[in-house]
Structure 1
Amino acid sequence: MDRATGPGTGAAQGWAPNSFELNTDERDLIRSLIVADPELVLADDQVMRALIGETAAPDRQVVDLRDRLVERLESRLKRLVQANRSVIAAAYENVAGTRSLHRAVLALIAETELTGFLRCLTVEVPRLIGVEEARLCLEAEIDEARPADGLGEGLEGRVLALPEGMVEAYLMLDGGPVPEGVVLREASSEAELIFGHLTSVRSEAMMRLELDGAAGLLLFGAADPDRFGPDQGVDLLIFFGGVVERLLLQRLAAA
């Protein structure tokens, strides 16, 4: 029945839109809707303002939703602060990583002799960028991986010779193509082939090198399993791999 025209209603009885009473079924329906989906009330600014402004009569109980609103605002603020902190931390890490790689590039440029260059690349550069290990691998006509003859003296196996085709095979252990020549991932058991059986490496970054038709591979290994991962950017490593590629070719040509 329409409340504006039914018995007991109308201007003569002093009816107003905010003074009519709901019957039991209607109250139960509204209550069930709110319980099922509180956002019907909480997301409606007009409704919330009306509820907050309501004063409790002596003979009825009115729920004060101001605390609930404050909690919602505090929760949103916390999420915003956390998001901002994450952005700032990522930006700081990116700047710090860029600076570290720039220092590494300058250190490599300063080494004009092949032996000093290889030592800097595999011993000093890992310290500069904050990782535990580095390996330089060059393909050759051999049957199994081994320390490179004539290149790795005094480097304790940090410069390796690999069988032809092993560079691409190692890069594609996860099965996907490597269009940019850089792979970041958690280290698998196959990492022992490169880093040794007693390695502490748990994640690795790999950069493919093109050395006058011969394939090469530069690897960084970290004990932190989250140091390198597929969700991270590779622009800096692409740049660094290109620098190493060019400097290495120059040092090899002059040796």
Structure 2
Amino acid sequence: MDGSQGGMDGLPLEPAAVRRFLSDNPEFIRDDAGLLDELGLRVAAGNVVDFAPAALARVHAAHQREAMQRQQIEAVARANFSAQAQTHGAVIDLLDARNHSDLAWRLDELAQHRFGLTAAVVALEAEARVPAGWTRLVEGQVDLILGGAQRLARMGFAPTALPLFGARCDQVRSMAMVRVAMWEPARQGLLAFGSADPQGFTEEMGVELVAFLARVVERTAERWPIL
């Protein structure tokens, strides 16, 4: 019987037909050492085909998959915990700011030294000047950078955001940006982080921690009046 040719009518054999053939011709597998080896089987005492090696191989493979998945979950959990711890430390640093320029300086410093980023910027739409260390934007520029009036955040690479980072813009390959609104009436602005790694910030990433820092910057900046 040539299984590669299918049944007598030239069509592939049905599983039921294969089962019947093996039941009627048990020596087909038992006496074929090469086939037994390929299937991971062996003939035990009493001419019984032993499926233990194949079963053990499947169990071992399943165990390896579970171990890899567990390691991946643990790695993600450790990374999240580390990011949260660094963010909480950053909040304490920001709350110690003495004025608007000190707030911008502290934000940039923690971005570089706590998170290993290229830069962090506070930008504000304003007709005149903005606090020292902040970046001035024209009206509507926040919507343009984020990609729409309804967007609160943007992750990834946005060419229109490169000017935010001034002299360091050539080093920035990805960004995390969150809309901010400060004072009354609300003044529109952005909190932006820049990374030299193209995969540092991607569209698939969550924005929760960055948004949390943005809210901290908003509340801290409102301690002092805008000049």
On whether the aligned pair clears a TM of 0.5, the verdict is yes
Contact kept, 8 Å, 1:136 with 1:160, in 2: the verdict is: yes
Structure number with bigger Rg: 1
TM-score (norm 2): 0.72
- Aligned partner of 1:7 in structure 2 is none
Q: Would you say 1:141 and 2:161 are equivalent positions?
A: no
1:123 aligned onto 2:109: yes
SS in 2 for 1:129: coil
1:221 Cα deviation after fit: 0.8
**Cα 1:54/1:162, change in 2 over 3 Å:** same
**Structure 1 vs Structure 2: percent identity of aligned residues?**
28
Unaligned runs of 5+ in 2: 1-7, 23-40
Root mean square deviation of aligned Cα: 3.4
- Does 2:4 align with 1:29? no
Q: TM-score, normalised by structure 1?
A: 0.65
| CA distance in structure 1 between the partners assigned to 2:159 and 2:176 by the alignment | 15
2:171 paired residue among 175, 200, 208: 200
User: Do 2:177 and 2:192's aligned partners in 1 also have CA atoms closer than 8 Å?
Assistant: yes
Task: Identify the match of residue 65 of structure 2 among 70, 79, 85.
Answer: 79
User: Residue 144 of structure 2 aligns with which residue?
Assistant: 169
For residues 137 and 205 of structure 1, the distance between their equivalents in structure 2, rounded to whole angstroms, comes to 13
Residue correspondence of structure 1 range 1-150 to structure 2 within 5 A: 29-30=17-18, 55=44, 64-141=50-127, 149=129
Q: 1:230 Cα deviation (Å)?
A: 2.7
Give the conservation status (yes or no) of the 8 Å contact 2:125–2:187.
yes
Q: Deviations over 1:4-51 (max 9, x none)?
A: xxxxxxxxxxxxxxxxxxxx99999216999xxxxxxxxxxxxxxxxx
Structure 2 CA distance, aligned partners of 1:246 and 1:176?
Answer: 22
